[in-house]
A and B are shown apart, each in its own frame.
Chain A
Amino acid sequence: MGIIGQSVTRVDAPDKVTGRAKYTDDLADKSALIAKVLHSTIAHGYVKSIDTSEAERIKGVVKIVTCFDVPDIPFPTAGHPWSTDVHHQDIADRLLLNRHVRYYGDDVAAVVARDEVSAMQAIRAIKVEYEELPFVLDPIEAMRDGAPQIHEGFDHNILAHTSYEDGNYAEAVKEPGLIVIDKWYDTPTVQHCHIENHICYAYEEAGKINVVSSTQIPHIVRRIVGQALGRDWGSVRIVKPYIGGGFGNKQDALYEPLCAYLSTVLGGRLVKLDMSREETFASNRVRHAIRYHIVSHVRADGTFVAGKLEAYSNQGAYASHGHSICAKGAGAFRQLYRYRGACKGDAYTVYTNIAAGGAMRGYGIPQMMFALESHVDDIARRLNIPPLRLRQMNLMEVGYKDNFSKNENYFDSFNQCIKKGMEYIDYDRKLEEFSHDTGDIRRGIGMAVFWYNTAVWPISLESSSCRMVLNQDGSVQLQLAETEIGQGADTAFSQMAAEELGIPLKKVHIISAQDTDVTPFGTGAYASRQTYVGGFAVQQTARIMKERILSYAHELTRMTVHNLDIEDGYIININNSRRLMSLAELATTALYSLEHSRHITAESTYQVKSNAYSFGCSFAEVEVDIPLCKVKLVNMINVHDCGRLINPALAVAQVHGGMSMAIGYGLSEQLLYDKKTGRPLNNNLLDYKLSTTMDHPHLEAQFVENYEPTSAYGTKALGEPPATSGAPAIRNAVLNATGVEIDTAPLTPHVLFERFREEGLI
């Protein structure tokens, strides 16, 4: 059939480009009451009192709820599948509104008004009296004796500490003649900057609280709203329409619980809560800033012998996804390179008084790759070995198997990807040519690889459910819990269903929106999981569906089902390819038959108990203007082995987006906090330097398509990996250009100015 592998037009393209596609705000009835949140203006302390008297007098104000009013039910927010094992459950450390405020921007009170203007007037009129406490912004400082205690029961503010030791590190480092490279690397706090800020609205109907939300994870949010409000989970209904991106920020319950609560205290009236961009930066989730200490003991020939990692992850004020992020990076450290003697890791996730770290595209790997891939280039420089050769000597070998996940490195993906990248960017020639650059403007070339895997098994549940319903005309409704968040999931699933069922793509009607009352259960968009995990569910359900169709075809044709198949929407005899009837004819007959009426549907759940590595690399070429302390990115390529491509055009688009995020991560993006007050300094799109199209060169995306043997359709992770290796590739290109090791991302002009001065370049 071959619909899989074709760059078919996105199934949602016509609605999205014509503006017909409906997002949360389009769907909210214009009668909705408007909720606004009052955020704390201190970084740590207690709310002593709140005076709402003046605010309540403002015309249009309907209700003001403060932290003294909300139920005392701590709830978790992370968008992880629920665990029935209490030890694996996420930390429940949030209330709907907080008396103990733990960051500048924490939620203290909420106003519901008839319109936004009155709601904002009321927010400004509320007077809050605080008892201020000392605060701490840095994870290492937060671990020190005497640091402010942010949550009870977490000694030295450590949310979690995990460690491993492969081999015996103390013994391995004793090998004579080893060269030690001992360095620290710093990564920044960044925000997702999805185009649609988080928005939701809630109302009660038919005994349920209904929440329509811009979320990646409707079924998980249902559970969390139930927990936060102390309600039965079945009495909560979440609807997820089209959303304007999420990148992991919306893999968390954000303001759905509060919005639902506000509706319930107003007798179920419709309440809408729409975040501003400033609030999205200050009071949603951010990517964890992680500080790394890496020590490598290597032989003069470049062989890695012993490696040690310490990672300190800035969790911010609430647990959200917590230690999972830092731990994932630490796990990559022990696998990506072969330290022959020993590899040791300590990972800490530490509460501080900044916005909570949550999931963000790459889930700990962009941080780890910045540190580790910078470190590998630093080793290469110290040993005077070409950085690519050093990698090829030490990278994970083909055939490597991880005993925990059972992931296997089946192919020589790294070398295949590197080869494509080198050829495209003309690596060898430029490396030689640029080495002669002197003067103010110098060119450089660098690269980095990345480690990734697919989905969350065996750490958490991986399952996906799918439903198919046959219509009179032979078309099919396709329904999954896996969400379209702009990445093209609906199109990929439609292609799978069309191919598996033997019907044209236009005969597949995917139901894009999820409604937890109706949509089969599944966990949603995260962990680069959906194409892999959802693929199994589509395949299995389509096969059940096809069996039912062919069984009915047998009734009509008297032919054995073993001789029957569906091709291009027709029931055929496979022995002579003769078309026996159209699927439309069969479906109409089945539905209206006076002898045997049947509505043909199928639904099934597939639990996935495998995972798959997804590897690749980035190459970057830069021009560094040394006196201006500025990096110009001239050329960039990412190469991915994500298995077979379901839709090459969508795969390229996915890679472009990830590369763009990596450019910002490497060069310009950082959410800054005022050291004196803990206030976010640049929580807007002017001062937070998200890179623009004018800051991008042509972005080249290429692929190596090794068919993934564990996968339903040979595919594996591509959602997050494109965002992981670009920043260190740029950093290494700057190193190549200037000889200056810059160990702090992003490489802003401010950082370059300080470093170039230290190194005497300016």
Chain B
Amino acid sequence: MYDIKALYEANSVNEAIELMQQHPDAKIIAGGSDVLIKLREGKLAGCELVSIFGIDALRGISMDEDGTLRILPLTSFSHITKDPLINEHIKVLGEAVDMVGGPQIRNIGTIGGNISNGVTSADSASTLHAWDAIVELTSAEGVRQLPIKEYYISAGKVALRPAELLTAILIKEESYAGYKGHYIKYAMRNAMDIATLGCSVNVKLSDDKKTILGARIAYGVAGPVPMRVPAAEEAVRGKPVCGETVDAFAGAAMQNINPRDSWRASRDFRLHLAHELAKRALTESIRLSGGEI
């Protein structure tokens, strides 16, 4: 039994916005795999909920005319993993969300919920950061876009205004064309776990596969929100594909993050992992791009 004061079900984006305007204290619920846990713990006891789960217009993955990948927020993790567009252009996102929880969670959990929780460990978040994703937010005032980096404000807090809804996640062609990436989730067990550290790297190589034209890296759990490490990306731009480049990348990555010390893992251990995961994720991304190392 859940301690819910009221549940309002929206059938369209407009209806959801109206319901949020009428019930400003209400929380949005989609798949429920996070909200119901908080309810059960008593943290949201007595709350009002606006359910957007029935809005089918917010499900699916498509490509805009300009080549932008459009991922609608209610798309479940399992659907993302199996989607042909994702597999063709940004396969690592499908792989990353396939590491969430277990099969049941991946069937009910949505990518929109995953990032709108604002948690640093979300398996989709570091990859979306690493691919320069843009979020599309809709309210009564209209539609606005934000780079995902600006969507995350602080732990558990995203840039949604009152009565505003995440309505799409966009990845532009320039962000994915020519890139291959790899995500490593470091967790204490192989399923049903949250990342101790997540590391998503992608790379674009020169035609001869000898030079790194661009590389991007984002971590989860290396700070209060998912984070890119521009210093590491700069360190390898235009550099030859070789072991030293990988070491420089990992070294710069580790020096520019600030993970916390907690009972879940020590800061030293997370820093050690950050270095090793950056190395492994870049090496694998290079390999996927046809480079040799």
Contacts and interface: CB of A to CB of B under 8 A. Distances in A.
B247 to A, nearest CB: 13
Chain B residues touching A, range = 20 to 34
A124 B273 contact: no
Most chain B CB within 10 A, of A115, A124, A749, is at A749
B272 interface: yes
Interface in B259-293: 263-266, 268-269, 272-273, 276
B1 A115 contact: yes
A692 B272 CA distance: 26
Interface in B176-212: 186, 188-194, 196
A21 B272 CA distance: 50
B42 A686 contact: no
A707 interface: no
A120 B3 contact: yes
B45 interface: yes
B276 A668 contact: no
B284 to A, nearest CB: 14
A668 B269 contact: no
B204 to A, nearest CB: 27
A627 interface: yes
A582 B2 CA distance: 58
A653 interface: no
A491 to B, nearest CB: 30
A681 B263 contact: yes
Given A668-B188, A672-B263, A692-B190, A124 B42 contact: yes
A750 B45 contact: no
Contact of A668 (B1, B2, B189): B189
B263 A695 contact: no
A117 B192 contact: no
Given A120-B45, A750-B265, A692 B191 contact: yes
Nearest to A34: B1
A762 B265 CA distance: 17
B263 A694 contact: no
Interface in A586-639: 627-629
A115 B3 CA distance: 11
B189 A691 contact: yes
A114 to B, nearest CB: 11
Contact of A692 (B2, B189, B196): B189
A233 interface: no
Interface string B204-246: 0000000000000000000000000000000000000000000
A151 interface: no
Nearest to B269: A753
Given A124-B42, A627-B276, A116 B189 contact: no
A309 to B, nearest CB: 31
Contact of A694 (B1, B2, B191, B194): B191
A49 B15 CA distance: 50
A748 B193 CA distance: 14
A689 B264 CA distance: 11
B48 to A, nearest CB: 15
A750 B189 contact: no
B276 A695 contact: no
B263 A762 contact: no
Contacts of A759: none
Chain A residues touching B, range = 20 to 34
Contacts of B272: 629, 753, 762
Interface string B1-23: 11100000000000000000000
A692 B103 CA distance: 13
Contacts of B45: 120-121, 124
A672 B263 CA distance: 9
A217 B3 CA distance: 35
Nearest to A628: B276
Given A124-B42, A762-B272, A686 B3 contact: no
Interface in A650-683: 668, 672, 674, 681-682
Given A628-B273, A753-B272, A121 B3 contact: yes
Contact of B189 (A672, A674, A694): A694
A697 B46 CA distance: 44
A116 B3 CA distance: 9
Given A694-B190, A749-B188, A750-B266, A120 B42 contact: yes
B106 to A, nearest CB: 13
A692 B45 CA distance: 31
A692 B188 contact: no
Given A117-B1, A628-B276, A748 B192 contact: no
A672 B264 CA distance: 10
Contacts of B191: 692-695
Interface of B: 1-3, 42, 45-46, 102, 186, 188-194, 196, 263-266, 268-269, 272-273, 276
Given A120-B42, A691-B189, A695-B191, 6 more contacts: A120-B45, A628-B273, A689-B193, A692-B191, A693-B191, A749-B188
Interface of A: 115-117, 120-121, 124, 627-629, 668, 672, 674, 681-682, 685-687, 689, 691-695, 748-750, 753, 762
27 contacts: A115-B1, A117-B2, A120-B3, A124-B42, A627-B276, A628-B186, A629-B272, A668-B188, A668-B189, A686-B193, A686-B194, A687-B264, A689-B188, A689-B189, A691-B189, A692-B102, A692-B189, A692-B190, A692-B191, A693-B191, A694-B190, A695-B191, A749-B269, A750-B266, A750-B269, A753-B266, A753-B269
